[in-house]
Amino acid sequence: MKAYRFKGLLQKEGWIMPAFVRVDEQGDLLEISDKKNPAYNYSNVNGFALPGMQNAHSHAFQYAMVGLTEQHDSKKNDDFWAWRKAMYQLALSVNPDQMEAIATMLYAEMLRHGYTEVAEFHYVHHQPSGTSYLNKAELGERLIAAAKKVGIKITLIPIFYQKGGFGQKANDGQRRFLSSNIKEYQQLLQASETAVEQYKSAKIAVGVHSLRAVEPMVVKELLEQLDPSLPFHIHVSEQLKEVEAALAYLGKRPVEWMLDHINLNDNFHLVHATHLTATEATKLAKSKANVVLCPSTEGNLGDGIFSLKTFQNAGGNWSIGTDSHISLNPFEELRILDYGQRLISHQRNTFTAENQGNSGLYALNKLTFSGRKAMGVTTSNFFEKGAALDALVMDGKVPIFNVCAKENLTSTIVYASDVSMHLGTMINGNWVIKNGQTNRSIRKNFINALKSLKNR
């Protein structure tokens, strides 16, 4: 058993100051109190504990290409579809050892920035030739091994990918992604379930890349065969061209088609959903389906701005993800999301509801609870008895934190902090990152992997 005294600990209602907690041998909370129990010795932590951040959308291999697509030819159009060609080149090149080294470095960096769990939207499944590895979950297994090395919790989402677009065959750049039918995807899913058993902090979810990548009626058929309790993830309506192609092929917009043909509920996590009508946003919120927003990636790719206010006004829930990992700071994701909305609305009250006017606390409530749902976890508070002590701990020595009243501290952290103000990250009651230190061998393996890719 371990016992800690934090300078403060954040719950969904606000701060407990000071906070005394005890955890059992597994790292699950036994006590959360503002009063010291004289029967125990508490280790003093000069820091403010926030819930560990949930990264609800990751493509780990894309970390190897950050910063590589910013050389632009002013005479040519450079958009998402041009970026995708560079991504395909990387996807065709990376081998299992490189995948593991890249993911290990990425996951260590996620921990350093305060993420304690990641949903890995994994679609690079096969050998560069397009043929299956003997172990169908070879690359998924490498992602799990990477997570295990650094201690981050992972929800592996093996992705069904079948086509090259609405009514189009897959192209050669997509050959490592493909399962030709539901049976092949089920085999991949089964192998992935076996891989997940190798790490106690790993879980499985299910997903389809997009309606353009799997025949829509096949998506509906697949959902009828899957365990409905598992989180289901899908990219949707990220690009205007995608919406236009759906209208031409289906006679409906992607989210419109899903609302009409699929019984959406709170186990669905729709990634991006950038281009929605007000009707779609409202109906999607009322269906209880969640949206996963990736503001730094969406901005970097020029996707557009999500209809957040309409969605939230109808009771919609959202989480965040780092997607292509152009940024790994959860607070930066929240700030980009908020400021984009402020710029188009000319209002400052993006993150508010009838019963919550504290922007920072509102944002963390959304990020945490919908993010946990994306991983397959349901909780009622940031920290609760019987659940793991997973926390991002802000440094109590930071002057701006020390002069904050309780009601201002959360938003000061969300809007005015950076990673230099982190004391560390805890998972299952143990420090996995403290004072920004990461493993030297992890860094060395990552550097060697990128050098061998020869893409930088």
Catalytic positions, written as ranges: 272, 323
The single-letter code of the amino acid at 132 is S
Q: Which residues pair with 160 in a beta bridge?
A: 208
At residue 253, what are phi and psi to the nearest 5 degrees? -70, 155
Q: How far is CA 349 from CA 353, 356, 362, in A?
A: 9, 11, 11
Residue type (1 letter), 407: E
Token digits for 164? 């090259």
Q: Which residues contact 64 (CB under 8 A, 6 or more apart)?
A: 90, 94, 98, 102, 449, 450, 453, 455
Q: Tell me if 291 sits within 8 A of 316, measured CB to CB.
A: yes
SS3 content of the chain, % helix, strand, coil (to 5): 40, 20, 40
Name 33's bridge partners.
20
Exposure string for 413-433, b = 16+ CB within 10 A, e = fewer: bbeebeeebbbbbbbbbebbb
Question: Residue 295 is inside which H or E element, if any?
Answer: helix 295-301
First to last CA, the chain: 47
Phi then psi for residue 28, to 5 deg, are -90, 145
DSSP 125-171: -S-TTSPPPSSTTHHHHHHHHHHHHHT-EEEEEEEE---SBTTBPPP
* ∠ Cα 275 235 70 (to 5°): 80
